[in-house]
Structure 1
Amino acid sequence: MMEGKMGKCEKCASETWSVVERLGTLETWRCESCGQEETVHVFDPANEPQLPVNLEPVCRIVGRWISRPSTQQMSEIQASFPALRNVPISTLLHKAIAQSDIELGRFTESEMRNLRPLLHRLGLTATETPIAVKPHDYHRMA
Protein backbone atom coordinates (compact mmCIF):
# COMPACT_ATOMS: atom_id res chain seq x y z
CA MET A 1 0.00 0.00 0.00
CA MET A 2 1.14 3.51 -0.78
CA GLU A 3 0.72 6.30 1.73
CA GLY A 4 -0.13 9.76 0.55
CA LYS A 5 -1.82 13.04 1.29
CA MET A 6 -5.21 13.50 -0.23
CA GLY A 7 -6.55 16.26 1.96
CA LYS A 8 -8.64 15.87 5.07
CA CYS A 9 -11.05 13.00 5.56
CA GLU A 10 -14.59 14.36 5.63
CA LYS A 11 -15.53 11.89 8.35
CA CYS A 12 -12.69 12.33 10.88
CA ALA A 13 -10.44 15.15 9.50
CA SER A 14 -7.37 12.88 9.37
CA GLU A 15 -4.87 13.56 6.59
CA THR A 16 -3.31 10.09 6.40
CA TRP A 17 -4.50 7.92 3.51
CA SER A 18 -3.40 4.71 1.78
CA VAL A 19 -4.14 3.55 -1.75
CA VAL A 20 -6.03 0.26 -1.52
CA GLU A 21 -6.98 -0.29 -5.19
CA ARG A 22 -6.02 0.92 -8.66
CA LEU A 23 -8.25 0.42 -11.70
CA GLY A 24 -6.82 2.26 -14.70
CA THR A 25 -6.94 5.95 -13.83
CA LEU A 26 -9.11 5.36 -10.76
CA GLU A 27 -7.62 4.93 -7.31
CA THR A 28 -9.42 4.05 -4.09
CA TRP A 29 -7.88 5.62 -1.00
CA ARG A 30 -8.65 4.57 2.61
CA CYS A 31 -8.36 6.89 5.60
CA GLU A 32 -5.91 5.31 8.04
CA SER A 33 -7.83 6.67 11.05
CA CYS A 34 -11.46 5.76 10.38
CA GLY A 35 -11.47 3.50 7.30
CA GLN A 36 -13.50 5.91 5.11
CA GLU A 37 -12.82 5.15 1.41
CA GLU A 38 -12.85 7.55 -1.52
CA THR A 39 -12.33 6.80 -5.19
CA VAL A 40 -10.62 9.49 -7.26
CA HIS A 41 -9.59 9.97 -10.88
CA VAL A 42 -5.81 10.33 -11.20
CA PHE A 43 -4.21 12.20 -14.09
CA ASP A 44 -0.77 10.91 -14.99
CA PRO A 45 0.73 12.89 -17.89
CA ALA A 46 3.31 10.16 -18.45
CA ASN A 47 0.51 7.71 -19.27
CA GLU A 48 -1.64 9.91 -21.51
CA PRO A 49 -3.50 7.87 -24.10
CA GLN A 50 -2.06 7.91 -27.61
CA LEU A 51 -4.25 9.45 -30.27
CA PRO A 52 -4.89 7.40 -33.39
CA VAL A 53 -2.63 8.38 -36.29
CA ASN A 54 -5.66 8.87 -38.56
CA LEU A 55 -7.39 11.35 -36.21
CA GLU A 56 -9.56 13.80 -38.10
CA PRO A 57 -8.39 17.43 -38.06
CA VAL A 58 -10.32 19.73 -35.72
CA CYS A 59 -11.05 23.40 -36.40
CA ARG A 60 -12.22 26.30 -34.29
CA ILE A 61 -15.19 27.78 -36.13
CA VAL A 62 -16.09 31.46 -36.00
CA GLY A 63 -19.13 32.69 -37.88
CA ARG A 64 -20.31 36.10 -39.03
CA TRP A 65 -23.66 37.02 -40.53
CA ILE A 66 -23.41 38.69 -43.93
CA SER A 67 -26.87 40.23 -43.55
CA ARG A 68 -29.31 40.83 -40.72
CA PRO A 69 -30.75 37.43 -39.73
CA SER A 70 -34.40 36.69 -39.13
CA THR A 71 -35.63 35.46 -35.77
CA GLN A 72 -36.06 32.03 -37.39
CA GLN A 73 -32.40 32.02 -38.52
CA MET A 74 -31.18 33.00 -35.06
CA SER A 75 -33.29 30.29 -33.43
CA GLU A 76 -32.01 27.71 -35.90
CA ILE A 77 -28.37 28.59 -35.31
CA GLN A 78 -28.91 28.36 -31.55
CA ALA A 79 -30.44 24.91 -31.98
CA SER A 80 -27.60 23.77 -34.28
CA PHE A 81 -24.60 24.93 -32.23
CA PRO A 82 -24.36 23.92 -28.54
CA ALA A 83 -22.05 26.87 -27.83
CA LEU A 84 -24.94 29.25 -28.63
CA ARG A 85 -27.78 27.52 -26.80
CA ASN A 86 -27.55 29.79 -23.76
CA VAL A 87 -26.74 32.98 -25.66
CA PRO A 88 -29.72 35.37 -25.63
CA ILE A 89 -31.26 36.17 -29.03
CA SER A 90 -30.64 39.86 -28.29
CA THR A 91 -26.89 39.18 -28.03
CA LEU A 92 -26.91 37.30 -31.34
CA LEU A 93 -28.84 40.14 -32.99
CA HIS A 94 -26.37 42.71 -31.63
CA LYS A 95 -23.45 40.67 -33.03
CA ALA A 96 -25.23 40.39 -36.39
CA ILE A 97 -25.85 44.12 -36.62
CA ALA A 98 -22.26 44.89 -35.57
CA GLN A 99 -20.96 42.21 -37.97
CA SER A 100 -19.06 40.74 -34.98
CA ASP A 101 -17.58 37.28 -34.83
CA ILE A 102 -19.64 34.53 -33.23
CA GLU A 103 -17.74 31.64 -31.67
CA LEU A 104 -19.50 28.48 -32.91
CA GLY A 105 -17.25 25.83 -31.33
CA ARG A 106 -14.80 23.13 -32.40
CA PHE A 107 -15.67 20.68 -35.14
CA THR A 108 -14.00 17.93 -37.13
CA GLU A 109 -13.67 18.11 -40.89
CA SER A 110 -16.53 15.63 -41.43
CA GLU A 111 -18.79 17.64 -39.11
CA MET A 112 -17.94 20.79 -41.08
CA ARG A 113 -18.89 19.10 -44.36
CA ASN A 114 -22.38 18.75 -42.90
CA LEU A 115 -22.44 22.22 -41.32
CA ARG A 116 -21.23 24.32 -44.28
CA PRO A 117 -24.57 24.10 -46.18
CA LEU A 118 -26.44 25.05 -42.98
CA LEU A 119 -24.18 28.05 -42.38
CA HIS A 120 -24.63 29.16 -46.00
CA ARG A 121 -28.42 28.77 -45.79
CA LEU A 122 -28.49 30.82 -42.56
CA GLY A 123 -26.44 33.61 -44.16
CA LEU A 124 -23.24 33.07 -42.18
CA THR A 125 -19.66 33.04 -43.36
CA ALA A 126 -17.33 30.81 -41.37
CA THR A 127 -13.65 31.02 -40.59
CA GLU A 128 -12.08 27.64 -39.86
CA THR A 129 -8.87 27.72 -37.84
CA PRO A 130 -7.11 24.35 -37.39
CA ILE A 131 -6.20 23.59 -33.80
CA ALA A 132 -3.74 21.14 -32.33
CA VAL A 133 -5.62 18.55 -30.33
CA LYS A 134 -4.19 16.86 -27.24
CA PRO A 135 -5.72 13.60 -25.96
CA HIS A 136 -7.49 15.23 -22.99
CA ASP A 137 -8.98 17.92 -25.29
CA TYR A 138 -10.34 15.30 -27.68
CA HIS A 139 -12.11 13.36 -24.93
CA ARG A 140 -13.62 16.57 -23.59
CA MET A 141 -15.07 17.33 -27.01
CA ALA A 142 -16.80 14.01 -27.38
Structure 2
Amino acid sequence: MAETTEPVAYLAAEECWERLRSQELGRLVTRVGDVLDIFPVNYVVDGEGVLFRTAQGSKLFELTVNDDVLFEVDEYTDENAWSVVVRGHARVLDTSEEVERADGMGLTPWIPTLKYTYVHVDAASVTGRAFARGPEPDRYGVQQY
Protein backbone atom coordinates (compact mmCIF):
# COMPACT_ATOMS: atom_id res chain seq x y z
CA MET A 1 0.00 0.00 0.00
CA ALA A 2 1.31 3.42 -0.86
CA GLU A 3 2.27 5.75 1.96
CA THR A 4 -0.89 7.55 2.98
CA THR A 5 -2.48 9.06 6.05
CA GLU A 6 -5.88 7.75 5.07
CA PRO A 7 -6.86 4.38 6.57
CA VAL A 8 -8.62 3.25 3.35
CA ALA A 9 -7.19 3.43 -0.18
CA TYR A 10 -8.87 2.29 -3.38
CA LEU A 11 -6.78 0.01 -5.57
CA ALA A 12 -6.42 0.49 -9.32
CA ALA A 13 -7.43 -2.46 -11.49
CA GLU A 14 -3.83 -3.57 -12.14
CA GLU A 15 -3.10 -3.45 -8.40
CA CYS A 16 -6.14 -5.67 -7.86
CA TRP A 17 -4.89 -8.23 -10.41
CA GLU A 18 -1.40 -8.18 -8.86
CA ARG A 19 -2.87 -8.98 -5.46
CA LEU A 20 -5.09 -11.70 -6.91
CA ARG A 21 -2.01 -13.26 -8.52
CA SER A 22 -0.23 -13.26 -5.14
CA GLN A 23 -2.76 -15.59 -3.51
CA GLU A 24 -4.26 -19.01 -4.21
CA LEU A 25 -7.36 -19.25 -2.00
CA GLY A 26 -10.50 -17.18 -2.56
CA ARG A 27 -14.23 -17.25 -1.93
CA LEU A 28 -16.82 -17.79 -4.63
CA VAL A 29 -20.26 -16.30 -3.93
CA THR A 30 -23.24 -17.70 -5.85
CA ARG A 31 -26.91 -16.82 -5.83
CA VAL A 32 -29.91 -18.93 -6.72
CA GLY A 33 -33.19 -17.15 -6.09
CA ASP A 34 -33.01 -15.71 -2.59
CA VAL A 35 -30.27 -18.11 -1.48
CA LEU A 36 -26.66 -16.93 -1.35
CA ASP A 37 -23.82 -19.40 -0.90
CA ILE A 38 -20.11 -18.94 -0.40
CA PHE A 39 -17.46 -21.52 -1.23
CA PRO A 40 -13.71 -21.44 -0.55
CA VAL A 41 -11.82 -22.41 -3.71
CA ASN A 42 -8.19 -22.47 -4.72
CA TYR A 43 -7.58 -20.72 -8.00
CA VAL A 44 -5.17 -19.20 -10.48
CA VAL A 45 -5.51 -15.91 -12.31
CA ASP A 46 -6.12 -16.49 -16.02
CA GLY A 47 -6.01 -13.30 -18.05
CA GLU A 48 -8.82 -11.05 -16.87
CA GLY A 49 -10.47 -13.74 -14.81
CA VAL A 50 -9.94 -16.54 -12.35
CA LEU A 51 -9.87 -20.29 -12.93
CA PHE A 52 -10.76 -23.01 -10.43
CA ARG A 53 -11.59 -26.71 -10.48
CA THR A 54 -14.63 -28.36 -8.96
CA ALA A 55 -16.52 -31.64 -8.80
CA GLN A 56 -20.20 -32.37 -9.28
CA GLY A 57 -22.23 -30.88 -6.45
CA SER A 58 -24.06 -27.83 -5.19
CA LYS A 59 -21.45 -25.30 -6.36
CA LEU A 60 -21.51 -26.54 -9.95
CA PHE A 61 -25.30 -26.86 -9.92
CA GLU A 62 -25.73 -23.29 -8.66
CA LEU A 63 -23.45 -21.97 -11.40
CA THR A 64 -25.63 -23.62 -14.05
CA VAL A 65 -28.74 -21.94 -12.60
CA ASN A 66 -27.19 -18.47 -12.31
CA ASP A 67 -23.73 -17.67 -13.67
CA ASP A 68 -23.50 -14.24 -11.96
CA VAL A 69 -20.88 -14.56 -9.24
CA LEU A 70 -18.61 -12.65 -6.92
CA PHE A 71 -15.09 -13.82 -6.18
CA GLU A 72 -13.26 -12.33 -3.18
CA VAL A 73 -9.67 -12.60 -2.00
CA ASP A 74 -8.05 -10.85 0.95
CA GLU A 75 -4.99 -10.78 3.14
CA TYR A 76 -4.03 -9.06 6.37
CA THR A 77 -1.13 -8.42 8.70
CA ASP A 78 -0.98 -6.47 11.96
CA GLU A 79 -0.26 -3.29 9.97
CA ASN A 80 -2.15 -3.63 6.68
CA ALA A 81 -4.99 -5.47 5.00
CA TRP A 82 -6.58 -5.60 1.57
CA SER A 83 -9.60 -7.07 -0.18
CA VAL A 84 -10.29 -7.55 -3.89
CA VAL A 85 -13.67 -8.45 -5.39
CA VAL A 86 -14.20 -9.74 -8.92
CA ARG A 87 -17.75 -9.44 -10.26
CA GLY A 88 -18.37 -11.63 -13.23
CA HIS A 89 -19.86 -14.63 -14.93
CA ALA A 90 -18.82 -18.22 -14.35
CA ARG A 91 -18.60 -20.66 -17.23
CA VAL A 92 -17.58 -24.27 -17.39
CA LEU A 93 -14.73 -24.93 -19.80
CA ASP A 94 -16.11 -27.47 -22.23
CA THR A 95 -13.92 -27.58 -25.31
CA SER A 96 -10.92 -29.87 -25.41
CA GLU A 97 -8.70 -26.89 -26.26
CA GLU A 98 -9.87 -24.94 -23.19
CA VAL A 99 -9.46 -27.94 -20.88
CA GLU A 100 -6.02 -28.79 -22.27
CA ARG A 101 -4.88 -25.20 -21.76
CA ALA A 102 -6.29 -25.19 -18.21
CA ASP A 103 -4.55 -28.51 -17.45
CA GLY A 104 -1.25 -26.79 -18.21
CA MET A 105 -1.78 -24.06 -15.58
CA GLY A 106 -0.76 -26.28 -12.65
CA LEU A 107 -4.02 -25.94 -10.75
CA THR A 108 -4.44 -28.92 -8.40
CA PRO A 109 -7.06 -29.56 -5.71
CA TRP A 110 -6.12 -28.65 -2.13
CA ILE A 111 -7.89 -31.71 -0.79
CA PRO A 112 -7.45 -35.28 -2.06
CA THR A 113 -10.52 -35.38 -4.30
CA LEU A 114 -11.00 -35.67 -8.04
CA LYS A 115 -12.15 -32.45 -9.63
CA TYR A 116 -12.64 -32.83 -13.35
CA THR A 117 -14.49 -29.61 -14.09
CA TYR A 118 -12.71 -26.31 -14.77
CA VAL A 119 -14.68 -23.12 -14.20
CA HIS A 120 -13.55 -19.72 -15.43
CA VAL A 121 -14.92 -16.54 -13.89
CA ASP A 122 -14.87 -13.92 -16.64
CA ALA A 123 -14.42 -10.59 -14.86
CA ALA A 124 -16.94 -7.86 -15.62
CA SER A 125 -15.26 -5.65 -13.02
CA VAL A 126 -12.58 -5.81 -10.36
CA THR A 127 -12.41 -3.54 -7.32
CA GLY A 128 -10.21 -3.46 -4.29
CA ARG A 129 -9.33 -1.57 -1.19
CA ALA A 130 -6.24 -1.50 1.00
CA PHE A 131 -6.44 -0.68 4.68
CA ALA A 132 -3.93 0.71 7.16
CA ARG A 133 -4.67 -1.06 10.43
CA GLY A 134 -4.34 0.60 13.81
CA PRO A 135 -6.19 1.46 16.97
CA GLU A 136 -9.62 3.01 16.84
CA PRO A 137 -9.52 6.82 17.08
CA ASP A 138 -10.86 8.42 20.25
CA ARG A 139 -14.63 8.15 19.87
CA TYR A 140 -15.49 10.83 22.37
CA GLY A 141 -12.72 13.38 21.96
CA VAL A 142 -12.69 16.44 19.76
CA GLN A 143 -13.38 15.44 16.15
CA GLN A 144 -12.22 17.32 13.08
CA TYR A 145 -15.00 18.46 10.76
Question: More relative contact order in 1 or in 2 (CA 8 Å, sep 6+)?
Answer: 2
TM-score band, normalised by shorter chain: under 0.3
Higher strand share: 2
Normalised by the length of structure 1, the TM-score is 0.25
